[in-house]
Structure 1
Amino acid sequence: MSPLQRLRGASRLAIDATTGLTDLVEAMHAEIARLPFTPARERTGGLTGQVYRSVRGVTRLVGAGLDGALATLAPLLQQTQADQANAVQAALNGVLGDHLDATGNPLAMPMGLHPLVPDAKGPAVVLLHGLCMHEGQWQRDGADLPAALAAWGYQPLGLRYNSGRPIWRNGQELAALLDTVPGPLTLLGHSMGGLVARSAIAQADPSGWPSRLRTLITLGTPHLGAPLERGGQQLQQLLALSAYARPLALLAGRRSAGIRDLRHASLLPGDEGRASVLPLPDGVACFAVAATTAHETSGSPARWLGDGLVPVASALGQHRMQSRRLAFTDTALLPDLGHLALQTDARVQQRLHAWLALR
């Protein structure tokens, strides 16, 4: 799907969002058209600005009007890099993915596995991204975890999925999809991705691919829930990954089913609004990495701060009730590290190398 097709799919949302979505699209347009090193803005000028003002003035026709307004973006979007377009679509799916899916909107991201190192051979490692992200973001900021996995003798497969859908639905679909992956399996999930992995394991036929699952690794996964769902400030941090996605913060108050499921770590059908009591899989080596933005890992402040999005206790499955605790094979807690950096930090990569060498 081209960047233009992605954004034109947003016109399907206009029937519900009316002028609010028009503001969103104009803000995205203004960011794309902005010259380098000039201040950010949320409004366009000239003829383009008149188009958007006209759309706001005729809310009954906002669906068709917005589609026409989006057409004015074509010359700019042709110059937009594919990775930026993917970031916009992934962010929009995180915020409104349940609605996109329910209405058949073309912007809804279909689930699929994508080879991240085309010539890689060996046992498959499925990398599951987090909220508002996509599989290409395992390779950014000068880091390349898929390339490292390939060098260690693994075949990295990136899972792309609509992170705004309920976690159990993504887990159910992943459970069926993994039956198509032969040989030994490792699941590596960042943030929400770790919850989707656990949901898939619980919903799969134990005699199928779970019998071939060797390792489960989670990075900053809110196993006991996260305060992320309770406010929009942290969501804006995720959207800030791309300048083109930042205007989507305007929609942060409208939380998708996926975001709501993060509050209590709701992983199974029927568990909406409450925590799923789900042990780690038997016979599988399970590892977890947590981070704290504090300089030291000891003390209450470090544990309360967590990685900025997920508390340490949640990432390590350390609950006061025995029935809720998760018995990981090994865990790591790293200082001076934020939630998003867990995908790219060299210390995390070293831990992964050591753990995978055990299998």
Structure 2
Amino acid sequence: MADSETKPLDWRRWGGLGQAALNGVFGDYLARRGNPLAIEMDFYHQRRPLPLDETLALRSGLVLSNKIVVLLHGLTNLESIWDIKPRQAEAVMEPKPDNYGLRLQRDFGYTPLFLRYNSGLPVRENGLRFSQLMTRLFAAYPLEIDEVILIGFSMGGLVMRSAQKSADLSDAPWLPKLKRCFYIGSPHEGSPFEQMGHRFSAFVREFPRDYINQWADWIDGRSEGIRDLRQGLDPAPPVAPGRGFYPGARHCFISGSVSPNNGSLINKLVGDSLVTQASAHPRAAPADSRFAHFEGVPHIPLAHSNRVYRQIQQWCEEDALAGGSPPLRQTISLTPVAAPEAAMWRDGRLAAGVVDLLADGYLQTVGAVESMHRAIARDPQEVLARIPLVWPVARVVDESHKGVAGVVYGSLKLGGKLVQGGTRFVAGRWAGKRSDGRHREDDDPTVDN
């Protein structure tokens, strides 16, 4: 292919995906540290956060109706996980955006909203934040919302469930409008891979050598969000059916599998590669729930599969025919105001977050190597201490070794702390609010305006 035909690398898109992956693995840590890489929960449209204020209709560019569908991505994902790839014949042209949300807008008139969130935070914390964000949306929306549909992929389904509980406890205004919930590949009863990670960490921690068992701390450094997937929201023994699900909505559960062969051993062991069918179809599901299973559709493709959408479409049509869906009453469509010019602080803020994370990783590594070094050196010293003729000389050597090691590792740590202090100062220069009154952390630093 000629160089002139080569598409330029969309580094902002890849930067966003990298940020999402970091949030999935270390998101709770990033949030505690105030690192600029930590994602703030918001609704997104065309990779930009939506303003939940009186300018929503003018600045969003969305066609707003009285019916909305909210799509929640999974662990380490962005809202781009929902994008359906164009067919081969369409790929040669500029592809039009396509996903479950846009198809539901086309077929039923729902306004699609895509949630972006820090998937490394605990599921219950994200559920609470999502419920609060939905309340803000209802206050800012220019129309009365008659119906809400939620679609959650993987962890997103657990966040949906947790949000229902939070909304019920706080009498949130959006909950009575919730009519249908679709849980796609969600580990309601846990994920076998996180369960294996937990067992492996426990095994390493019990190893009788300090220079081995200390690495369990590194394994356990994975985020609270990941660790929440060990048991999901329905740990054994099973709770009463329907508990934790809003009774005013219809709940639909969708699962997939690696192999197209029904009943194969690999499907029973790993399900869709991350979630088994039993976990995706929980025993706690309400009695009137719907279930669908797709052999040969692995975990990630469940979020953008034509087969899965046809099932969602069929269930929505059945509810519409049964009178379970309010009619499309009104829509608002305005030409969006031009987005403001890109602010120069964004790239600096993003770079500061990356350097701060690297510096902290460096400090953690130096600390681990120091501990391993001292643990390895301790074993021969304990043997020499039992030999009276050798120990006086060995003790001098040991003390000298500890002094030199302390200076070396102390210098290495000091360098890392200086770098960290510099990056925090740089990041702090961009803290606060922008001239338009919005918080700077509400923006996506990986997007060009």
Relative to structure 2, which stretch is displaced further, 220-229 or 289-298? Answer: 289-298
Shift of 1:281: 1.4
For residues 286 and 294 of structure 1, do their structure 2 counterparts lie closer, same or farther at Cα, with a shift above 3 Å needed? same
Aligned to 1:154: 110
RMSD across aligned positions (CA): 2.9
Distance (Å, rounded) in 1 between the aligned partners of 2:151 and 2:195: 26
Distance (Å, rounded) in 2 between the aligned partners of 1:213 and 1:181: 14
Shift of 1:298: 4.0
Distance (Å, rounded) in 2 between the aligned partners of 1:328 and 1:301: 30
For residues 299 and 86 of structure 1, do their structure 2 counterparts lie closer, same or farther at Cα, with a shift above 3 Å needed? same
User: Contact (CA 8 Å) 1:297, 1:303: kept in 2 or not?
Assistant: no
Aligned to 1:130: 74
Shift of 1:299: 6.2
Shift of 1:140: 4.7
For residues 265 and 140 of structure 1, do their structure 2 counterparts lie closer, same or farther at Cα, with a shift above 3 Å needed? same
User: Contact (CA 8 Å) 1:264, 1:275: kept in 2 or not?
Assistant: no
Aligned to 2:125: 169
Shift of 1:95: 0.3
- Aligned counterpart for 1:188 among listed residues 145, 151, 172: 151
Distance (Å, rounded) in 2 between the aligned partners of 1:293 and 1:333: 12
Structure 2 counterpart of 1:292, which letter? S
**1:178 and 2:134 matched:** yes
Shift of 1:141: 3.1
Aligned to 1:85: 15
Shift of 1:296: 3.0
Alignment of 1:253-332 (within 5 A): 254-266=221-233, 278-298=243-263, 302-318=267-283, 324-327=284-287, 329-332=289-292
Shift of 1:297: 3.3
Q: How many residues align?
A: 257
User: Contact (CA 8 Å) 1:179, 1:209: kept in 2 or not?
Assistant: yes
TM score, norm. by length of structure 2? 0.53
For residues 79 and 311 of structure 1, do their structure 2 counterparts lie closer, same or farther at Cα, with a shift above 3 Å needed? closer
User: Contact (CA 8 Å) 2:84, 2:305: kept in 1 or not?
Assistant: no
For residues 252 and 164 of structure 1, do their structure 2 counterparts lie closer, same or farther at Cα, with a shift above 3 Å needed? same
Structure 2 counterpart of 1:348, which letter? V
Larger RCO (CA within 8 A; separation ≥ 6): 2
Distance (Å, rounded) in 2 between the aligned partners of 1:83 and 1:310: 27
- Aligned counterpart for 2:62 among listed residues 87, 102, 119: 119
Distance (Å, rounded) in 1 between the aligned partners of 2:219 and 2:286: 31
For residues 230 and 224 of structure 1, do their structure 2 counterparts lie closer, same or farther at Cα, with a shift above 3 Å needed? closer
Distance (Å, rounded) in 2 between the aligned partners of 1:276 and 1:174: 24
SS state of the match for residue 190, structure 2?
Answer: coil
For residues 107 and 313 of structure 1, do their structure 2 counterparts lie closer, same or farther at Cα, with a shift above 3 Å needed? same
For residues 339 and 282 of structure 1, do their structure 2 counterparts lie closer, same or farther at Cα, with a shift above 3 Å needed? same
For residues 213 and 202 of structure 1, do their structure 2 counterparts lie closer, same or farther at Cα, with a shift above 3 Å needed? same
Distance (Å, rounded) in 1 between the aligned partners of 2:263 and 2:118: 36
Shift of 1:146: 2.8
SS state of the match for residue 230, structure 1?
Answer: helix
Distance (Å, rounded) in 1 between the aligned partners of 2:104 and 2:22: 29
User: Contact (CA 8 Å) 1:265, 1:275: kept in 2 or not?
Assistant: no
Aligned to 1:352: 312
User: Contact (CA 8 Å) 1:288, 1:331: kept in 2 or not?
Assistant: yes
Aligned to 2:384: none
Distance (Å, rounded) in 2 between the aligned partners of 1:337 and 1:115: 27
Aligned to 2:190: 225
User: Contact (CA 8 Å) 2:191, 2:275: kept in 1 or not?
Assistant: yes
Structure possessing the higher radius of gyration over alpha carbons: 2
Alignment of 1:47-126 (within 5 A): 80-115=10-45, 118-122=61-65, 123-126=67-70
Identity rate, percent: 33
Structure 2 counterpart of 1:255, which letter? R
Shift of 1:280: 1.9
For residues 79 and 299 of structure 1, do their structure 2 counterparts lie closer, same or farther at Cα, with a shift above 3 Å needed? closer
User: Contact (CA 8 Å) 1:292, 1:336: kept in 2 or not?
Assistant: yes
- Aligned counterpart for 2:163 among listed residues 178, 200, 204: 200
Distance (Å, rounded) in 2 between the aligned partners of 1:331 and 1:211: 23
Q: Deviations along 1:130-158, whole A, 9 cap, x unmatched? A: 00001122115335323212212111100
Aligned to 2:302: 342
Shift of 1:82: 2.1
For residues 266 and 274 of structure 1, do their structure 2 counterparts lie closer, same or farther at Cα, with a shift above 3 Å needed? farther
